[in-house]
Structure 1
Amino acid sequence: METPRNLVVLGAGTAGTMVVNSLRRRLPAPWRITVVEQHDTHDYQPGYLFLPFGAIAPEQVRRRTRGLVHDGIDLVRAGVERVDTAEHEVHLADGRVLPYDQLVIATGTTPRPDQTQGTLGPQWHREVGEFYTYEGALALRDRLETFTGGRLVVHITELPIKCPVAPLEFTFLADDWLRRRGLRERTELVFVTPLDGAFTKPVASRALGGLLAEKGITVEADFMVEHIDQERRVLVSYDEREVAYDQLVTVPVNMGADFVAVSGLGDELNYVPVDRHTFLADGLDDVFALGDASNIPTSKAGSVAHFSVEVFTENFLEHIAGRPMTHVFDGHANCFVESGHGKALLLDFNYDTEPLTGTFPFPVVGPLTLLGESRANHLGKLAFRHLYWNALLPGRPLGLRPQMSMAGKHPA
């Protein structure tokens, strides 16, 4: 009888769940799969964006983790204390030790309001809100229900963050929500960012910046926050600029899991440095990092997890067979950007090509419009929740190649 070999996956979020479900059908004997996850619920995190506006019910974004992991996969409910790469072991918070032959770190990224002075004061989840957690999004919903006007400030602390367009989407949806409630004329909307414009990519930044201007939303760019003064209700930057607010919606610093730092596997934000094409951790041949847990230079978004898992799965089967990994991830990301009034934009880009105008996924017929508002894009965003639960997480193919295509795009 062959000696069992162990694939251990840390994290049953988007990337981790897709990996174990995809490999369960394809991993040859004597491999067995263990996934470690401390939470018993799995959230559809793009749904957090809609919770503050009452556009989605809380139960629609949350399911039990066990029901999403296929039979034949061992699910271990525990936190991770550290990884010992010399001994090829994962030490769990409850004292258990899991040996591994191959390890995948897919523990994502987490908002860390404790990293910015003054954030976790008495007004946290009140006058200082956030929508990057389930609890925060629900608390913000309750705050907005009592909002009658004033200065509403949407603020990004630092990049990278999970879903980098989400703060813009929140701002556009807030504009729409305020107009429908008759409060827009009584509200000053301000978008505060450490970037020099609306987004990281120049073409997209111009298009999104134009939308902000059309909607009368003020942009405070190049703002690096030093602290939040809750008593005075102001953001204070390192260059001593101040932005006042009546209601603040902040996006805290995002960081990877603490065990990554404890294990000596991370950068200054606890993301695992990897080869950006294969996800193999630097200096190791038995550790990979996927999804938001890695330091690859593209968006921390569900689409990146999806496309990268497809590439990883093929490479991993080659890797454990002792063959070179021949599949290359090109940084492909696409994301819908809700712009309010039942419309959205779509961005599609990779490491080398920024978002362009055109149609997606097919030339001319689309049906989706790139870098342009459309009802079809909004419906696509809403439909993705169904695809997430019923196709993406189970590991079923969506019919899209992981590599970005130039078909239908108009070069800048």
Structure 2
Amino acid sequence: MKRIVILGAGTAGTMLANRLARMPEMDDWRITVVDATREHYYQPGFLLLPFGVYGKDDVVRPKRYYLPAGAELIFAEVDRIRPDQKVVELMDGRKVAYDVLVIATGSHIHPEETPGLMEHEWHKTIHTFYDFEGAVALADALRHFKEGRLVLNVAEMPIKCPVAPLEFVFLADWYFTHRGLRDRVEIVYTTPLPGAFTKPKATEMLGTMLEERGIRVVPEFNVMEVDPDARILRSYDEQEVEYDLLVSIPVHMGADAIARSEMGDELNFVPTDRHTLLAKGYDDIFVLGDATDLPASKAGSVAHFEVDVFMENFRRYLDGLELLPLFDGHSNCFIETGYGKGVLIDFNYDVEPLPGMFPLPGVGPMPLLKESRVNHWGKLMFHWMYWNILLKGRELPIPARMSMAGKRL
């Protein structure tokens, strides 16, 4: 019996395991999933937890509940991959052989990479919402914050969910307005990007919204260090931004096992063919989700579309056919903007977010690149869809390749 091994039971790995388990051609294959932790986190919920929209039970559930019954599940930390031996070595000394390997080890925050960030003020006046513990601590900090300067800093790109920092400052504006404190709280957004987002049309729209809400943007701010005692952010070009409460989006890196395997770039992301999702230099290793070095968003929608592409190409792989260049970097993201509204963007490698209607041309019901209440409800509905549809590998009527139908140039 042949074996496909999936490293990582996060969003991409879990979706893939469920899709493979329902594939008739897998009768002669064994599906093995390896992961070090037993809890599955709904990471988009980390953004909403600090504002009281979600509670802890909304974002944490056991991984075992969402993996197919027939799959072998190994809870262990990966030491390294030995591609020449087609073996994965685990930290406990076990070895797992594979015929096909899928790397879905995700990306992880590394606050220790920024001097001064993860010191004595961590989870006190310095916070993050990019992990569960950080989001819980930030919820408490926001409840007690009544006046001063709130600064959100993005340390370095790429990061998971590139729109989440924008969502945070929009929600902070709504949150403090709702509490009657907005005139006493200054909100500053510092980013290494030249504007609010990476794509021109979206940057123009979102930048205007930030300006209208009195949120100051400090672009091209490449943080060098944090002075936790003076409460100052310093950039490499000697800019300084003072804060009373700092929310950091730390440096993101791929799994340490990728570095030990000598398969990653300087940030431990795996060089990946941008259209077939094969790890570069290998014909039996695929990479999905945040573990890739692709110039696509590290977001759940991207993982979903990558799994769709993988399934189509994996059937060709089993038949000995050449893989097709199917993945186009497709991503769609809800941007929560507060006050019961949101924005939806849909884009890929080559096409930036455009106005229009999604998913049905002329019908929608969700407008693209436009703030609306429908998009807000779409964002909240995604929580149910994630646990009950996406994670279980059930297909959605949204094509993996981006469609131009309903979009206006």
So what's the TM-score if we normalise by structure 2? 0.99
Q: Which of 9, 29, 36 is matched with 1:12 structurally? A: 9
1:321 is the counterpart of 2:319? yes
Deviation at 1:321, TM superposition (A): 2.3
Matches within 5 A, 1:313-392: 313-326=311-324, 328-392=326-390
Q: Is residue 227–residue 237 contact of structure 1 (8 Å, CA) maintained in 2?
A: yes
Structure 1 residues 179-231: Cα deviation after superposition (integer angstroms, max 9, x where no partner): 01011000111000001100000110001101100000111111000000001
Q: Which residue of 2 aligns with 1:283?
A: 281
- Find the aligned partners of 2:263 and 2:324 in 1 and give their Cα distance: 25
- Find the aligned partners of 1:348 and 1:11 in 2 and give their Cα distance: 27
Structure 2 unaligned regions, length at least 5: none
Deviation at 1:320, TM superposition (A): 2.6
Deviation at 1:326, TM superposition (A): 2.7
Q: Which residue of 1 aligns with 2:21?
A: 24
- Find the aligned partners of 1:283 and 1:116 in 2 and give their Cα distance: 32
Q: Which amino acid aligns with 2:6?
A: V
Q: Secondary structure at the match of 2:27?
A: coil
Matches within 5 A, 1:150-161: 150-161=148-159
Matches within 5 A, 1:212-361: 212-326=210-324, 328-361=326-359
Structure 1 residues 284-318: Cα deviation after superposition (integer angstroms, max 9, x where no partner): 11111100000111100000000110000110121
User: 251-260 vs 327-336, which deviates more?
Assistant: 327-336
Q: Is residue 20–residue 26 contact of structure 2 (8 Å, CA) maintained in 1?
A: no
- Find the aligned partners of 1:395 and 1:237 in 2 and give their Cα distance: 43
- Find the aligned partners of 2:153 and 2:166 in 1 and give their Cα distance: 10
Q: Which residue of 2 aligns with 1:172?
A: 170
Q: Secondary structure at the match of 2:187?
A: strand
- Find the aligned partners of 1:273 and 1:40 in 2 and give their Cα distance: 28
- Find the aligned partners of 1:264 and 1:295 in 2 and give their Cα distance: 14
Q: Secondary structure at the match of 1:401?
A: coil
Q: Which of 71, 74, 77 is matched with 2:75 structurally? A: 77
Q: Is residue 342–residue 371 contact of structure 2 (8 Å, CA) maintained in 1?
A: yes
Structure 1 unaligned regions, length at least 5: none
So what's the TM-score if we normalise by structure 1? 0.98
Q: Which amino acid aligns with 1:30?
A: D
Q: Secondary structure at the match of 2:367?
A: strand
Deviation at 1:325, TM superposition (A): 1.5
Spell out structure 1 runs of 4+ moving beyond 3 A: none
Q: Which residue of 1 aligns with 2:179?
A: 181
- Find the aligned partners of 2:361 and 2:8 in 1 and give their Cα distance: 38
User: 242-251 vs 393-402, which deviates more?
Assistant: 393-402
Deviation at 1:32, TM superposition (A): 0.6
Q: Which amino acid aligns with 1:115?
A: E
- Find the aligned partners of 2:120 and 2:251 in 1 and give their Cα distance: 19
User: 25-34 vs 336-345, which deviates more?
Assistant: 25-34
Q: Which amino acid aligns with 2:354?
A: L
- Find the aligned partners of 1:24 and 1:363 in 2 and give their Cα distance: 34
- Find the aligned partners of 1:65 and 1:95 in 2 and give their Cα distance: 23
Q: Which amino acid aligns with 2:14?
A: T
- Find the aligned partners of 1:20 and 1:63 in 2 and give their Cα distance: 17
Q: Secondary structure at the match of 1:378?
A: helix
Q: Is residue 314–residue 327 contact of structure 1 (8 Å, CA) maintained in 2?
A: no
Alignment: residue pair count: 408
